[in-house]
Chains A and B, each alone.
Chain A
Amino acid sequence: MTRTDPTPTIAPSETQQAMLELRHLNKTFSPSVVPVKDLSLSVKRGEFLTLLGPSGCGKSTVLRMIAGLEQPTKGQVLIQGEDVTHKPPGDRNISMVFQSYALYPHMTVADNIASALKLRKIPEEEVRQRLREVSHFLGLEALMERKPSKLSGGQRQRVAVARALVRRPSVFLLDEPLSNLDALLRENVRAELKQLFESQQAPVVYVTHDQTEAMTLSTKVAVLNDGNLQQLDAPHQIYAEPANQFVAGFVGSPQMNFLTLPCEAGAARLGDRSFPLPPPLSHARQVILGIRPEHVRRAQPGDTYTFEGKIFLVENLGMHYLVSVHIQATQQTTYTLRLLLPSDATWEGDSLQIALPPETIHWFDAETGSAVRQ
């Protein structure tokens, strides 16, 4: 399933050192519980890597292994080229923002932010200096003497980020830091985070199950499922060229349409139309056609692949209509397809002539689920 090889981004010409490297990472709790199977990747200075996947895909375990809160069963964690697999979390020069923020409830904001510095015996003058900088940077000056219980959710989140920034670590680890904020605040903070970490040198490893966060924040996204890396790419690549059916279905909203079509002589049949297949699929008996709802459109003169769709559900999303139609392919088989129409679109009756632009179609091997390029 894994399309990427273990060292996908390090081209020989690149001299820049990887800040964080994972080699064949595996975590086995019991023979049947293997949250991380074999993960290798590396993150460079200034990169923002998001581990994206459904809950239970192993992304949090990966983060905990990087932090040193769990020991991998196999494999190594390297930070700035040094093998830290056996180092306790405090000796790794990483900082982490937790989902629950994990602020110490009995300490003031200032003490919370400074606690790691004090433990490292950093001179008091410098601690004060760094506190001043970070509190100014995040606009926390007025809150420094408060206890966490006297802060709003957004303020707590910012304190947690401040606590990570003040460390000046080699790597930032963020574990779903936005999931405890309400929807409105989340968008603001997301934008804030993006600017904030763009100004930092150290790379970020960010865990989320939210594709919007992954797409907007990251320079690279690693899609995980079932303990395996599905795809590691830039966000637009993940969207435009999903490596397999899982990634295609997980990223993008509304979800991509998947139609399982029969094949004949190197072409897939949908009703009375047939789509020529890319060469690797020429002998397949079945194939999966994937097309995003935003790429399906109403038929115009000159379109090749047009079908009549019977509308059975219209959902108003505000900016768009999400229209669900049935396509009668043969006497026995009907396919369901969803498409987005602009909010000013009008139609009469309950049928719609739709077109599937061939350049937007993704083909997947029906057996392995892997994408096959045109």
Chain B
Amino acid sequence: MTSNSAPARPPVTHKIDVIVQRDRQIGWMLTIPALLLLIAVFAYPIGLAVWQSFITKNLGTELQPQFSGIQNYIRMAQDGRFWQSLWNSVVFTTLSIIIEFLLGLGIALVLNQAFRGRNIVRTIAILPWALPTALIALAWTWIFNDQFGVVNDLLLRLRIIDSGINWLGNPTLAMVAVIIADVWKTTPFISILLLAGLQSIPDDLYEAHRIDGANAWQSFWQITLPLLLPQVVIALVFRFAQAFGIFDLIAVMTGGGPGGATEMVSLYIYSTVMRYLDFGYGSALVVVTFLLLVLAVAIAAYLLSRVRGSAQATDAR
């Protein structure tokens, strides 16, 4: 270096940030394989369903597929079985989520306490979540069996009933039974999330609140619940989507019966496609279910963003 940099010379400007650019190039190379698989398995089927929903395509008939505009949607609007299945899904989803949330919150609060053997109990408490739903459905079918089922036996012994109930043969009771099974299977998911939320609330908040003169009940409403709200919303959104699309549990336990009393949208879609081979109409059902789900999730996401905003405001305070 012989010449000193003359102060008059303007500084060299670099238009492209090579480091960022290099990072991005590699980044896309690492991301694209995963994105392709995601597109193939998530985006493409939905897109295909949208396209097919405008086509009359029934592999059960000899007819060639043909474009039929919104015919499938018109048919859906007049299809009592569709509306029934939608209603069933709404009832199932709402009831099971509410029960699961209350139960899950209770379990999380208990597991958040200090007691001997807490780790073992925590392990036990996540067990139902990990087990295959289809097999769990078999277990519950057996438990609710009208002749030999343990539920009837217990109720008889407690003299609550005089004769065995045909749980899965009665429209209302079948719904009750599948909800109970679903609650058993998925409450652990909610308690895990809520427990994590509870553990992230610093103890000194409670201590400060107690010094302010609050009792446990007041602390629960004024500290625990507000700070837990983000986890609550997240858990509910996840559970909503899963419950709304529930298939295996119902398919194995009742097959949608008796008389369609537990036929959810998902089961209706499945039999439309697999039994009646009506791909066009099945696609329309998929599209509508998808849109309903997106709508619900969008609402939840909006709520979540507000909850998070207010939670941060609480933190700042």
> Does the CB pair B14–A40 fall under 8 Å?
no
> Does the CB pair B12–A76 fall under 8 Å?
yes
Residue of A nearest to B20 (CB): A71
The number of chain A residues with a CB under 8 A from chain B is 26
B4 interfacial contact with A, CB 8 Å = yes
- Cα separation A72 to B15 with both chains bound (whole Å): 10
A284 interfacial contact with B, CB 8 Å = no
- Which chain B residues border A138 with CB–CB below 8 Å? none
Interface of chain A, main secondary structure: loop
- Cα separation A40 to B18 with both chains bound (whole Å): 22
A18 interfacial contact with B, CB 8 Å = yes
- Which chain A residues border B13 with CB–CB below 8 Å? 73-74
> Does the CB pair B18–A6 fall under 8 Å?
no
Give the contacting residue for B12; candidates A17, A18, A21, A75; CB below 8 A.
A75
> Does the CB pair A17–B14 fall under 8 Å?
no
What is the CB-to-nearest-CB distance from A35 to chain B, in angstroms, rounded to a whole number? 14
- Which chain B residues border A6 with CB–CB below 8 Å? 5, 7
Give the contacting residue for A85; candidates B4, B10, B14, B22; CB below 8 A.
B14
> Does the CB pair B11–A24 fall under 8 Å?
yes
Known A-B contacts A7-B5, A18-B1; the reply to A73 vs B19 at CB < 8 A is: no
> Does the CB pair B14–A72 fall under 8 Å?
yes
- Which chain B residues border A88 with CB–CB below 8 Å? 19, 22
B17 interfacial contact with A, CB 8 Å = yes
Residue of B nearest to A5 (CB): B7
What is the CB-to-nearest-CB distance from A18 to chain B, in angstroms, rounded to a whole number? 6
What is the CB-to-nearest-CB distance from A180 to chain B, in angstroms, rounded to a whole number? 24
A81 interfacial contact with B, CB 8 Å = yes
What is the CB-to-nearest-CB distance from B4 to chain A, in angstroms, rounded to a whole number? 5
> Does the CB pair A73–B14 fall under 8 Å?
yes
Give the contacts of B1-56 with A (CB-CB under 8 A): 1, 4-5, 7, 10-14, 17-20, 22
- Which chain A residues border B5 with CB–CB below 8 Å? 6-7, 21, 23-24, 40
Residue of A nearest to B7 (CB): A6
> Does the CB pair A71–B1 fall under 8 Å?
no
Give the contacts of A1-27 with B (CB-CB under 8 A): 5-7, 10, 17-18, 21, 23-24, 26
- Cα separation A81 to B3 with both chains bound (whole Å): 10
Known A-B contacts A76-B12, A81-B1; the reply to A71 vs B7 at CB < 8 A is: no
User: What does the 1/0 interface line of B289-310 toward A look like (CB < 8 Å)?
Assistant: 0000000000000000000000
- Which chain A residues border B1 with CB–CB below 8 Å? 17-18, 21, 78, 81
- Cα separation A23 to B12 with both chains bound (whole Å): 9
- Cα separation A183 to B290 with both chains bound (whole Å): 61
Residue of A nearest to B13 (CB): A74
> Does the CB pair A23–B14 fall under 8 Å?
no
Residue of A nearest to B17 (CB): A71
- Which chain A residues border B7 with CB–CB below 8 Å? 5-7
- Which chain A residues border B10 with CB–CB below 8 Å? 24
User: What does the 1/0 interface line of A22-55 toward B look like (CB < 8 Å)?
Assistant: 0110100000000000101000000000000000
What is the CB-to-nearest-CB distance from A178 to chain B, in angstroms, rounded to a whole number? 28
Give the contacting residue for A26; candidates B11, B17, B18, B22; CB below 8 A.
B11
User: What does the 1/0 interface line of A69-102 toward B look like (CB < 8 Å)?
Assistant: 1111111101001000110100000000000000
- Which chain B residues border A72 with CB–CB below 8 Å? 14
Residue of A nearest to B5 (CB): A23
- Cα separation A164 to B79 with both chains bound (whole Å): 75
Give the contacting residue for B18; candidates A5, A24, A69, A71; CB below 8 A.
A71
- Cα separation A71 to B14 with both chains bound (whole Å): 9
> Does the CB pair A69–B4 fall under 8 Å?
no
Residue of A nearest to B12 (CB): A76
- Cα separation A78 to B12 with both chains bound (whole Å): 13
- Cα separation A4 to B200 with both chains bound (whole Å): 51
- Which chain A residues border B20 with CB–CB below 8 Å? 71
- Which chain A residues border B11 with CB–CB below 8 Å? 23-24, 26, 38, 74-76
- Cα separation A252 to B1 with both chains bound (whole Å): 37
Residue of A nearest to B21 (CB): A71
What is the CB-to-nearest-CB distance from B22 to chain A, in angstroms, rounded to a whole number? 8
> Does the CB pair A7–B4 fall under 8 Å?
yes
Known A-B contacts A6-B5, A78-B1; the reply to A71 vs B19 at CB < 8 A is: yes
> Does the CB pair A74–B18 fall under 8 Å?
no
- Cα separation A239 to B233 with both chains bound (whole Å): 57
- Which chain A residues border B18 with CB–CB below 8 Å? 71, 86
> Does the CB pair B19–A69 fall under 8 Å?
yes
What is the CB-to-nearest-CB distance from A182 to chain B, in angstroms, rounded to a whole number? 24
- 12 interchain pairs, CB-CB under 8 A: A7-B4, A7-B7, A17-B1, A24-B10, A24-B11, A71-B19, A71-B20, A73-B13, A78-B1, A85-B12, A85-B14, A88-B19
Tell me the B residues contacting A by CB distance below 8 Å. 1, 4-5, 7, 10-14, 17-20, 22
Tell me the A residues contacting B by CB distance below 8 Å. 5-7, 10, 17-18, 21, 23-24, 26, 38, 40, 68-76, 78, 81, 85-86, 88
Identify the 7 closest CB pairs spanning chains A and B, nearest first. A24-B11, A81-B1, A74-B11, A71-B19, A75-B11, A71-B17, A74-B13
